Structure 1
């Protein structure tokens, strides 16, 4: 009989859990992000997730938020396992855990070849195995143990973190492919999907359950924290549709394939074709209303709240309201208030 693995970091299961994700942009500088974080904290939001794309780095923003907030949890959403070494990520996690008073959540992900190869110049090779190794090495380093690790191309020796955190850092993994979702079930504290479609999640939960069962874990030990594009504003449909079109058409094959698996194969193909041929406005217009309704929180406040409830019924324990690029601080503030837990 397989030896039962230790249970990982515990998370609360309150039905009113809610997070937000926001990236600094031309419309929102870091000072504005800090104001939003403090407002979200005052409204009872559980966590704030900072992505890292083509703007500022997430570490600096998280450090600024750590010293300007006191209760809201702070998370990387996400650090790519191809852009930093595992030991550096462990050092960063330990530092942010100390700065925040043990409020940090480490969100990791493989990203995709469009980002990893074109932006970072690193071959996108064996992403699932690399994610596994990163989690193993990072946890080993954060435990304060000496890191001597020689496996699958890594040859690390003699590293010991001088200031291991006194409280374990939860590790969440962004995943949308079946094998990567299975990995989350096996070893992550939480699973971070995106564009979850209400009523069409069972195929992904099957993979998550398979991973947990293979590791002799209880599925309830894996937090399901989904990035849900959301904005309650007059421009919500415009901005949310634009975001979906960009991910389906302009971010490689991962999100495109994910949307196809949710039952929108023909629609995803059309969006991708239009985007690739330069017809980006047409690609945005081709995003089907049904997909927008299933995967986003837009429109009127009451409708958005009802969609949150339906996501929770589908098994999403922590919806993370993910604001589309172009959202103004006023629009974000309004959305936070009308969706507040």
Structure 2
């Protein structure tokens, strides 16, 4: 069994400040990690800042911060501040995010994503040392920035990765990879690209979970999530690379503007592969399959059912010996 077991924060369905009691208990329940998400709700850093006080034993990480939506210096300052607030417990996960978040929501061109992440990793490595950075990268230039509050311990930098190029970047220049939206069996395909650069490279996987829910309800929730994510170009390309031909009818309907048809075209088998659901013990077994196939830190991301008590979900999914 893995020695690490993470949860995504903030939890859905509870105001941020009201999550303190739940998060305070997580260490005693067997959780080791809290990883934040950032899309259209909370930012990635504030929930972790609160959790650094509420749960001083847990590791904290961002999964992920987009490389585009903060300037390089601002990103370095935010990460260094978290690293100083939680010495030795904070890990920075960065990635491209998607064209939807970067272009449509933030009005930033989604250009040269591989180079953008690579350049950001290189800049952060140098900035965290306290050196004066004056460098022309391929995708941006930094002219004389010095981090004024160097953390006592530079945070590890993880790269969110889907396909081989970014996976190899995560292994070559990052401390590991953050993977997302894949089955336990898919882990066998992606991990070797990262570990080509060292068996010690960490693999953090966000695993979508719907515990203690009947199969029909879980599959309905799962279909909505899959249609929302896997029609985004970066995720579509990922699953095309994985060879998930069962999604071709969904992609065809989506391209034709038939949203209802796209939703209906998602087979149960794909939902069952990509979404962990069922009784809590069955969910834990499915999560352990990710670990058996190469994940070092599973990070659970509950996505339903509506009205579920987050405290109960956290308790149900806690690791068991």
TM-score, normalising length: structure 2: 0.89
2:190 and 2:140 map into 1 onto residues whose CA distance is 30
Q: 1:263 aligns with which of 238, 243, 252?
A: 243
* CA deviation after TM superposition for structure 1 residue 276, in Å: 5.1
**Structure 1 SS opposite 2:42:** coil
Structure 2 residue runs of 5 or longer lacking an equivalent are none
Residues 1:33 and 1:237: Cα distance change in structure 2 (over 3 Å):
farther
* CA deviation after TM superposition for structure 1 residue 237, in Å: 3.2
Q: 1:335 aligns with which of 307, 313, 320?
A: 313
1:64 and 1:200 map into 2 onto residues whose CA distance is 34
Residues 1:159 and 1:46: Cα distance change in structure 2 (over 3 Å):
same
Q: Report 1:33-44 matches (<5 A).
A: 33-44=19-30
Q: Who is 1:19 aligned against?
A: 6
1:123 and 1:88 map into 2 onto residues whose CA distance is 18
Q: Report 1:1-341 matches (<5 A).
A: 15-23=2-10, 27-210=13-196, 212=197, 218=198, 220-234=199-213, 235-249=217-231, 252-265=232-245, 267-275=246-254, 279-324=258-303, 327-328=306-307, 330=309, 332-341=310-319
Residues 1:245 and 1:34: Cα distance change in structure 2 (over 3 Å):
farther
Q: Note if contact 1:28-1:328 (Cα within 8 Å) is conserved in structure 2.
A: no
* CA deviation after TM superposition for structure 1 residue 327, in Å: 4.9
Residues 1:282 and 1:336: Cα distance change in structure 2 (over 3 Å):
farther
* CA deviation after TM superposition for structure 1 residue 336, in Å: 2.4
TM-score, normalising length: structure 1: 0.85
**What is the CA deviation profile of residues 50-83 of structure 1, one whole-angstrom value per residue up to 9, with x for unaligned ones?**
1111122222222222232211122111110000
Structure 1 residue runs of 5 or longer lacking an equivalent are 1-13, 213-217
**Structure 1 SS opposite 2:142:** strand
Residues 1:106 and 1:253: Cα distance change in structure 2 (over 3 Å):
same
1:158 and 1:292 map into 2 onto residues whose CA distance is 49
Report how many aligned residue pairs link the two structures.
Answer: 316
* CA deviation after TM superposition for structure 1 residue 162, in Å: 2.0
* CA deviation after TM superposition for structure 1 residue 288, in Å: 2.0
The RMSD of aligned alpha carbons is 2.2
1:90 and 1:327 map into 2 onto residues whose CA distance is 37
